[in-house]
Each structure stands twice: as structure tokens, then as C-alpha cells.
Amino acid sequence: MGKTMERRKFLKTGALVGAGAAGAYGLPLLTSLRASAGNALAPSAKCRWGMVIDLTKCPPNCTACVDACKRENNVGSTGDRLRDIYRIRKVTIESTLAVGVAPKAVPLLCNHCDEPPCALVCPIKATYKREDGIVIVDPHRCMGCRYCVIACPYNARHFNFRENDQRPNPAYPKRQRGVAESCDLCAHLLDQGKQPACVAACEGIQAKALCVGNLNDPASEISALIRNHSVKRLREDLGTEPKVFYIGL
């Protein structure tokens, strides 16, 4: 009889100790899990940069934004069509429908996805999403594996196959051979409260087709544009949640 009591007592204490240990170790784990999930769901409370491109105002043969971007960010041209690097470029989009829709010249840049596939595949987190939603490459860390170039569904990423010797803007670094390149929405200008180079250039030629602003602020110009127009994003079916919106696509 005494023996069974002892065994029952032993099991009881064991269960209690086990539950205590599980609580002690599991609780911080659970709370940290919840905290990280919370961070992932809310990119930033303050600022979330996005862009609206109004194709009805974009002149078809104009390359002001492309040229301004190359000047600002020291993106050189190699003369080799397959090796050329663009942070923003003009592409021609044709309708797959049989209905007669004229092909459109569309400025294409990094879409700064909320779920960026490039950052997902980057093995060393050289590509990452900043807290304000800008997807950016850290060239110090990039090792040139080109996974991001393959992963991007918008072909908005390029690779520096050779070093660029043109440096029109000495205030901004250039890139060495062997790092990936993409639009960072001119984060160095946005952080100083200025407009990105392409937007400034578009305003400079009085077209005003590009607009960059805070998507979280309902009073901003970009939020008003998205509210008042029918906007489309590229390849919304992929679930990448791009933050570049097109009017008149």
C-alpha cells in the first residue's frame, strides 16, 4: 500500500515539475513567436512608401526618368544589350487579348513588394525589406549569387557583370563587379525628405506621371490618387503585393 502511494506521489511531483518547466521554457518562446508574427504583419506604423505611375500622362517616347536615374545612381551603360543595367526602364506591354488594344510604353521598376521574392531567396539577407517597405540591396553584403535576379517576377533586378567606370554623381557610390542591382526608390533622397530622381525628372518635364508617397497616410497625394482612380498592379496573381500602382494600364 505504502509503495503505491509513494509511486503516486512520485508521479504527481514529476508531472508538476514537468508542467512548470514547460511553462518556464515555453512561455517566452510563445511570446517571442507572437511578437515576431506581429512585426511581420505590420510593416511599419509610420511610413510605407509606394509609387503611382499615371500612364495617361506618361509620354510614350520620353526617357527622362530613365536618364535621371542613371545620372543620380551612377548606373552606367555597358554598350552590351544583355549586360545593361536599369533601375527603371521603359518596356512595351502588349495585350494578349484579340481586341485591338494598342501596345503601351510602361516605366518598369522594382515594385517594392510587401512579400518580396528576392528577399525571400537571398541566402545572406543582403536583399531585405526596410521597415518603411523599401526593398533594398546591401552591396556590402551581396555575394553575387543572382538568386534574386532569377526570383524577381518583374525582371526588375540586374547584375553588375562588370565594373562601371561612369560616376556622374560623386555624392553617391557606384557598384563594383559582382553585386546585384535594383531600384531602392532613391532611399538616400527619401531619407533626406527629397523626391526620388525619376519623380523629380518627371515633374521637371511637366509630365507628372510619377508620384511617390506614404501609403499609410490617408491625406497624402498618393493615397488620393489610388482612391480616385482605378489602379492596377503588375502580376497581382502572384501574391507579391507590389506597391507600384499603375493608372490606365
Partner 1 sequence: MKRQRRSLIVVALVLMAAPLLYAVLSFAARPAPRPLWLEPPAPNTSCILPTAVIRYDHMQHLKNLRDQVMREGRREELTGARAQGLTSCRGCHAHRERFCDRCHERASVRLDCFGCHVY
Name which position in 173, 194, 205, 235 contacts partner 1 (CB under 8 A): 173
* 3-class SS of residue 69: helix
Q: Are 118 and 148 in contact (CB under 8 A)?
A: yes
CB of 138 to partner 1, least distance (A): 5
CB of 152 to partner 1, least distance (A): 20
CB of 186 to partner 1, least distance (A): 12
C-alpha cell of 108? Answer: 518598369
> Looking only at residues 46 through 105 of this chain, which bind partner 1 when binding is defined by CB under 8 A?
none
Question: Rounded to 10 degrees, what is the CA torsion of 132, 93, 83, 59?
Answer: -80
Name which position in 16, 60, 124, 131 contacts partner 1 (CB under 8 A): 131
CB of 90 to partner 1, least distance (A): 27
Helix pair angle (64-73, 197-204), 10° resolution = 140
Q: Is 212 in the site for partner 1 (CB under 8 A)?
A: no
Q: Are 76 and 85 in contact (CB under 8 A)?
A: yes
Q: Is 187 in the site for partner 1 (CB under 8 A)?
A: yes
Q: Are 147 and 119 in contact (CB under 8 A)?
A: no
In the complex with partner 1, the residue whose CB is nearer, 136 or 210, is 136
Name which position in 38, 79, 170, 218 contacts partner 1 (CB under 8 A): 170
Distance CA 183, CA 10 (A): 65
In the complex with partner 1, the residue whose CB is nearer, 114 or 138, is 138
Distance CA 58, CA 26 (A): 56
Distance CA 148, CA 29 (A): 32
CB of 177 to partner 1, least distance (A): 9
C-alpha cell of 38? Answer: 506581429
Q: Which stretch binds partner 1 (CB under 8 A): 30-38, 105-113, 134-142, 208-216?
A: 134-142
Q: Which stretch binds partner 1 (CB under 8 A): 10-18, 30-38, 135-143, 197-205?
A: 135-143
> Looking only at residues 139 through 168 of this chain, which bind partner 1 when binding is defined by CB under 8 A?
139-140, 163, 167
What is the size of the binding site for partner 1 (CB under 8 A)? 21
Q: Could you tell me which of 80, 106, 117, 146 has the C-alpha nearest to residue 244?
A: 106
Distance CA 146, CA 142 (A): 9
In the complex with partner 1, the residue whose CB is nearer, 136 or 156, is 136
Distance CA 73, CA 25 (A): 49
The residues binding partner 1 (CB under 8 A) are 128, 130-132, 134, 136, 138-140, 163, 167, 170-171, 173-176, 187-188, 191-192
